[in-house]
Amino acid sequence: MNKINQFLDAIEDHFQHLDQRTNWPLNGAQIDSYFDAAEALEIYYRFIQINEKLSPKEIAELMPPIDMLRLSLTHNLIVGLKVASKYNIEDISFEKRIHYIKSIFEVMEHMTNGDIFCLDHKNLILNAQNISEKINQVNFNTAIEKDVQKQIANTIVTLNHYCYSLFYDVFMSAGFFIHGPYPTDSKFGKNSVLLIRDYHNLKPNIWPNEKSPYQKISMLLIYKNLDYKIDFENSQITETSIPDKLIAYSIIADGKEISLEKIKELEQLFDQLSIDQTKFIESLSDFDKIRKGSEICYTFFDKLRSQTTGSDFLPRVEMNIKEFGDQFIRTHNLNKKKSAEHWKKLFDPRNNYF
């Protein structure tokens, strides 16, 4: 049970810094409750199919990026099985449930070069050879000037907001995640690190009218003397300023490096796209926000679906909206912050608490 306990420690670490009351446009429970059991059961049975045939390393190739998989564990993959059991939809025993979650952890070991739970506050997806290749083959630009540091910081904020407008606060890893910090002393000097911000899905099919000119943007950022931590759900933790620690950068858009001047244009473009998309989301009814939230979740496991058989959970969303109306929106409208102990119990597969 050690892995499960470590997982719950990571949950506690994350949620002590998070206030779900601020989630936009709805919180996770308000969205997930309309399909939690259906999604959990679908992914459970699809995973069991391939777990009997493939190795953990092979299964890793069919999973979403590890940050999206971590996110799924704190949405429906565990809680949905509890809901299914409590409401007599289907009872997956504690023994099977624990085996399933531990199997997912085994797969995650093949998706990272660090602690799968980020308990060391690092998200080390790349190995030493990958990092060596990046810092020696990529053309880095110096960023010691304040105006350059400010421009890069503004671009980060703008791209973050754009991804939030596409994937909501609670599903942000579907749009971008951060990995590192990776040591770069050999090229950039003592106490230097590389942080990579991968905006990996800037033109999702769920918003066919989006006008992003790029599908992917990677920001490779070298910092010096940076106090920086990343938790299990890819939230950054720091008590000092970040922009003034930047010493070098490279921005790669759809495989091509872009100049600082182009970055300025990019920031302005994505700022307007973010405003437009945010206005559009806020114009939707709560039920339409939930429908889109379910579509976001559905895209996480496209590769797994391509190699397995089974029913999809999306039809359950409409059925539950029709059956329950706005019940879950009202009952899960949080007006006070939940304790860390609540979150640990909620995501513990060894009980039926939710």
pLDDT, tens digit (0-9, with 9 covering 90-100), for 7-16:
999 999 998 8
Domain that includes residue 36, residue range: 2-118+287-346
* pLDDT score of 77 more than 90: yes
Q: Is residue 25 part of a domain?
A: yes
Closest listed residue to residue 98, CA positions, set 7, 32, 175, 168: 7
Domains identified in the chain, total number = 2
State how far the Cα of 67 lies from the Cα of 36, in Å rounded to an integer.
19
Indicate whether 123 belongs to any domain: no
User: pTM here?
Assistant: 0.96
- Residue 183 phi, psi dihedral angles, 5° rounding: -70, 140
Q: Indicate whether 57 belongs to any domain.
A: yes
pLDDT at 253: 96
Residues 110 and 140 in one domain: no
Residues 8, 36, single domain; the answer is: yes
- Point out the domain boundary residue: 226, 255, 282: 282
What separation, in Å, do the N-terminal and C-terminal C-alpha atoms of the chain show? 20
Residues 103, 188 share a domain: no
pLDDT above 90 (res 257) = yes
Tell whether the model's pLDDT for residue 211 goes beyond 90.
no
**Domain endpoint, select from 230, 253, 282:** 282
Both 88 and 218 in one domain: the answer is no
CA 290 – CA 109 distance, rounded (Å): 32
Q: Is residue 208 part of a domain?
A: yes
| Residues 152 and 291 both lie in one domain | no
Same domain, 105 and 192: no
Of the three residues 253, 282, 311, the one that is the final residue of a domain is 282
Task: Report if residue 351 sits inside a domain.
Answer: no
Alpha carbon 344 to chain centroid distance? 19
SS3 content of the chain, % helix, strand, coil (to 5): 50, 10, 35
pLDDT of residue 338: 87
Is 172 found in the same domain as 78?
Answer: no
* Tokens encoding 8: 């719950």
342 and 230 in a common domain:
no
Confidence class of residue 19 from pLDDT cuts 50, 70 and 90? confident
| Mean pLDDT confidence for 17-45 | 93
Distance CA 294, CA 10 (A): 25
Tally of CB atoms within 10 A around 52:
7
Residue 352 domain-assigned (yes or no): no
Closest CA to 219 of 169, 253, 185: 253
Residue 20 pLDDT > 90: no
Q: Is 244 inside any structural domain? A: yes
Interatomic CA distance for residues 101 and 349, integer angstroms:
8
